[in-house]
Chain A
Amino acid sequence: MDLFLQYLITGLTVGSIYALLAVGFVTIYNVTGVLNLAQGEFAMIGALSCVTLVNLGIPIFGAIPLAILITAIIGLAVERLAINPARKATPIVLVVITLGVSIFLKGMGLIIWGTSPKSLPPLVESKSIEFMGAVVNSQSLWILVVLIAHLVVLYWFFEKTFLGSALRASEKNPRAASLMGINTSTMSMIAFTIAAGLGAIAGVMIAPLTDATYEMGFFIGIKGFVAMIFGGMHSIPGAVAGGLLLGVIEAFSGGYISTYYSDALAFGFLLLVLFFRPQGLFTKATGERV
């Protein structure tokens, strides 16, 4: 029983990391219709710049907002310099551009921070907690808190504010949105800035658990992307649920079947989802909502 609980908790911990990444993916996709393959690199930049700021002597509570700000500015620059000039191109071209951006950012990360892993102190220094025979890392509780805050704030932002509605409109129907006086180009810029900030939050939250390296973005980016597909591409709550589900599948398949195959099993499950529920696990297949 305590093994089951340990696997479940580990799965939720890892899954919440994927979920944080997936939220950033969905945000950009919902506004621009572009899959941003550089989302993992935003997390990397957030984590590593936070490490640098902490090493400069800035307390962690000041370093985190600064790191998020720096990453958001980089996100804005990426959109203005790489995405916006090609905004008339097809989505697939834009996706390839984000792939290029991802490789570029990773290269810059290597030059600036080197290859050795850097660790970041957790928000609150505390020992891990014993819970019914299973061990819970206190940082993973913070990640869950942040995840819930994401859900609430993003729901409020996209559903209840004018800017949020404008952002959603520019993906649903860019032409109609333009006719309504929404500048879709500005919306795309805002979406990238927000997503980069979200990526940075993900980075600084997970770095105390996993340490930060210049190449951390690729792996968590892929997993975040899978979580997004589980959730049906468009839905932020769906992506969060997808991330948690992916983490739990990995943990249980590793725990009860074999750790050699946990990735294979998780991706096998992804294929099943794509075959039988391509619209995602957590959305109703109702077609376009009008």
Chain B
Amino acid sequence: MKKILKGKLVAILSLVFLVVIAGCGIEKEEETSGEKKEGGVIKIGVIVAETGPASTLGSAQAKTVELLQKQLDEAGPIDGNKIQLIKQDYETNDTKAVVAMDKLISEGVVAVTGATQSSTTMAIIPKAIEKKLPLFTIAPIQSDSEYVYSMAQSTTVIAIPIVEYLKKNNIKKVAWVNASDGFGVTGKPAFEALAKENGIEIIAHEEFDATATDMTIQLTKVRKSNPEAIIVWSRTPGAGIIARNFKALNFDIPMIQSTAAANQGFLEQVKDDNENILVVGSKLSVIDQLPDSDQKEMLKAFNDSYVKEFNSKPDLFAAHLLDGVNVVVNAIKAGNVTSEDIHNYLQNDLGTYLGATGTFDFGVSQASPEPDGISVLSIENNDWKFTE
């Protein structure tokens, strides 16, 4: 009886084995035939968090992909090649993003834009480098690889408008308060270096837990050293709570917050009590107040088509994605249809490119666009106000 069972088991196992092998074979066949059929199609991969907790940032990016695909279809093929954007939702799960990256590579994309979060981006960078695939990152990261092009401002670049604002208002002594999480701690080193060059000194530094419910202690402590401005590096809701504590304590100096506070949630948190509160935000939020320029027209075109399609406003994160895809489309228009050619074109021939995030010049830096896309914004009538 036992022997028979054993025999059956072996038979079943070998059958399973056969099926698996056969399955692999079939899959391979499909891939090759697929490639042959779609000769006139150039694919660009996009990895975003359309669902899951990071969808607050990712859903606008996913919508931008839809908008771009629609516009590309309307414009028609470029030199006989149709451009297809392949959007992968990684569900705010780094592992799924890596799988999505593999899938995109196997589909033969020429470049990839993504991912929504920094940690996810770090997880997919090695794959891009291995395959020599240009990767356009849309989250703040640090990478020295020649294949990584950052569409998001680096912390140093975000600090530039702050330092300029301080210089213009003759402020020399600032207090620095940040959240003690991953985002909060990145700001100070970048700012400090830049501030020192410009004769600005950080005279007090305090931290708070990113989930804390009150920052009165931190503000009371920095007040002792009489700063001329307070700089805060925190995400919401901490960013909004400290702004409210700041008003309750009757400070009469400006509080400057990072790009992490440049969103509707923060505006709602500081509603009706937002005097002296400044935020480094995208010019995308204040298009109508900008002086006439190519940048204004370009931002307006993006904003209007987005509003028309989705009835909501695009944000800075959507702008990063727009730029990531458009840079590749530009390279394709210049006659580059393989990863290698696109990479070489961006390295040597692109020059400056005016994106929605800011001006890109990959010859100078691949780590960040220039700071011309962001500005220190104040708040008036519960909406952003351009100050320059």
Contacts and interface: CB of A to CB of B under 8 A. Distances in A.
Interface string A205-228: 010011101011011100000000
B240 interface: yes
A117 interface: yes
Q: Chain A contact residues (Cβ within 8 angstroms of B): what range?
A: 20 to 34
Nearest to B52: A110
Interface in B182-215: 206-209, 211-214
Nearest to B237: A117
Given A135-B248, A135-B249, A115 B213 contact: no
Interface string A224-264: 00000000000000000000000000010011000110110
Given A114-B56, A135-B248, A259 B214 contact: no
Nearest to A214: B53
A3 B219 CA distance: 11
Interface residues of B, number: 32
Contacts of B224: 3
Contact of B217 (A210, A215, A254): A254
Contacts of A263: 209
A71 interface: no
A118 B214 contact: no
A6 B241 contact: no
Contacts of A119: 240, 268-269, 271
Contact of A255 (B207, B221, B250): B221
16 contacts: A3-B224, A6-B216, A13-B216, A14-B213, A115-B53, A115-B55, A119-B271, A211-B241, A211-B269, A215-B211, A255-B220, A255-B221, A259-B206, A259-B208, A262-B217, A263-B209
Contacts of B214: 10, 13-14, 209-210
Nearest to B247: A128
A254 B218 CA distance: 8
- A contact patch SS: helix
A116 interface: yes
A117 B207 contact: no
A28 interface: no
Interface string A1-14: 00100110010011
Interface string B249-267: 1100000000000011100
Given A3-B220, A254-B218, 12 more contacts: A3-B224, A116-B268, A118-B268, A128-B248, A135-B248, A135-B250, A210-B213, A215-B211, A254-B217, A255-B220, A259-B218, A263-B209
B240 A211 contact: yes
B180 interface: yes
B237 A210 contact: yes
Given A117-B236, A128-B248, A135-B250, A259 B217 contact: yes
A127 B211 CA distance: 25
Given A206-B213, A210-B213, A116 B221 contact: no
A117 B240 contact: yes
A260 B180 contact: yes
A259 B211 contact: no
Given A210-B237, A259-B217, A117 B265 contact: yes
Contacts of B244: 209
| Closest A-B pairs by Cβ, 8 of them | A116-B265, A117-B237, A210-B213, A219-B211, A10-B216, A128-B248, A254-B217, A115-B56
A110 B240 CA distance: 19
Contacts of A220: 213
B121 to A, nearest CB: 19
Contacts of A14: 213-214
A10 B217 contact: yes
Contacts of A185: none
Given A13-B214, A213-B237, A117 B56 contact: no
A209 B216 contact: no
Contacts of A135: 216, 248-250
Contacts of B213: 14, 17, 206, 209-210, 219-220
